[in-house]
Amino acid sequence: MKKNKFSKNWIIKQKRDIYVKKSKLEGYRSRAVYKLEEINNKFNLIKNNTLVIDLGAAPGSWSQFISRNFNNSKIISIDLKDIEPIKNLVHIKGDFTDEKHKKNIKNYFGKKVDLIISDMAVNTTGNKSVDALVTGELCIDAMNFAVELLNKNGSFISKLFMGSSFNEIVALGKKSFLDVDIFKPPSSRKDSKENFIICRNLR
């Protein structure tokens, strides 16, 4: 009963959500696109000719936004799910935490990249503390990967939730990057603990 009630409430929220409606009108695959757009409007991280790695990419709206708006950008993405084709995108279906996939991503460009974005999160269990902790671990893994692969002026964007690992993630960001900000985009739902960490310029 609880699950059915949650599903019904989610459907009602989706139907009322202006960002869901807007994404359909503009041909984007999910409302998440506006989070990246708002992050970029504030921090100006994405430009033409950008080399991008998109972690946890499905259904692909972040890659779609970059491909559509920034000329000659090249993107490699990874997710447990398939993604419908997007211009200038190569997609890997698999688990980012698997070392063989990390190696394939590194080999794709064969050089340092400009931007790594991560919207990775675990499937929610209903226990917000557990969800925040496990998603935090994904964020840390993605950040360590970014430190290895970004060029000196590169940027890293990742979802994280307020929780027990939040301060650890921010501290790791500050240890690795000169500029670190926490930002909750206006399109992020008010009742969500979701935030994004924006890291720029490697130390």
Query: Tens of pLDDT along 89-129?
Result: 999 999 999 999 999 999 999 999 999 999 998 766 666 67
Q: What is the pTM of this model?
A: 0.88
SS3 assignment for 148-197? HHEEEEEEEEEEEECCCCHHHHHHHHHHHEEEEEEECCCCCCCCCCEEEE
Question: In the beta sheet, which residues pair with residue 51?
Answer: 74
Active site residues: 159
Give the model confidence (pLDDT) of 182-194 as tens digits: 999 999 988 888 8
- Domains of the chain listed by start with CATH number: 32-202 (3.40.50.150)
pLDDT of residue 192: 81
Cα distances from 34 to residues 11, 29, 50, 156, 182, in angstroms, run 20, 11, 19, 17, 17
Instruction: Confirm if 50 and 73 have CB atoms less than 8 A apart.
Output: yes
Which range, of 16-30, 112-126, 147-161, averages the lowest pLDDT? Answer: 112-126
pLDDT of residue 90: 97
